[in-house]
């Protein structure tokens, strides 16, 4: 039986997992069905993983889920061909020019101009 046959029979949709998950599954006595994503699939799956992790954080307010979001962001930064320090510099620049979110300002739009 080939890996592609295994993938075709898999009961779950394809999802990106952390690098050590297959060995953890094997250690539990199961045999994972895996493949290595090509560049296009990796980019697509990273974006789906980001949504998944953000949804899990929003639902739980668990800081561990927020750490998962950060891990996916780090992978996206590398995939985009840049460095995390560069992302942090961009964030810092935006914060300096537009502010952060510490003041908790909620915007509802603008008042109509009086004519």
Q: Is the pTM of this model over 0.75?
A: yes
Residue 8: band (very low, low, confident or very high) from pLDDT cuts 50, 70, 90: low
Which domain does 72 fall in, by range? Answer: 38-115
Q: At 24, give phi and psi (nearest 5°).
A: -70, -40
Q: Are residues 63 and 99 in the same domain?
A: yes
Query: Could you give the number of structural domains in the chain?
Result: 2
**pLDDT tens string 54-65:** 999 999 999 999
In whole angstroms, what is the distance from residue 9 CA to residue 78 CA?
32
The answer on 43 and 30 residing in a single domain is no
Burial 57-86 (b: 16+ CB within 10 A, else e): beeeeeeebbebbeebeebbbeeeeeeeee
Q: Quick one: pLDDT at residue 115?
A: 81
Task: For 60-112, write each residue's pLDDT tens digit.
Answer: 999 999 999 999 999 999 999 999 999 999 999 999 999 999 999 999 999 99
pLDDT at residue 9 tops 80: no
């Amino acid at each position: 039986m080939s890996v592609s046959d295994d993938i075709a029979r898999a009961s779950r949709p394809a999802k990106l997992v952390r690098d050590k998950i297959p060995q953890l599954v094997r250690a539990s006595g199961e045999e994972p069905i895996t493949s290595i994503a090509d560049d296009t699939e990796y980019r697509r799956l990273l974006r789906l993983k980001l949504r998944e992790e953000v949804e899990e954080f929003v639902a739980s307010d668990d800081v561990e889920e927020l750490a998962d979001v950060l891990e996916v962001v780090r992978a996206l930064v590398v995939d985009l061909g840049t460095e995390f320090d560069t992302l942090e510099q961009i964030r810092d620049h935006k914060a300096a020019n537009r502010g952060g979110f510490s003041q908790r300002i909620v915007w509802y739009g603008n008042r109509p101009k009086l004519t």
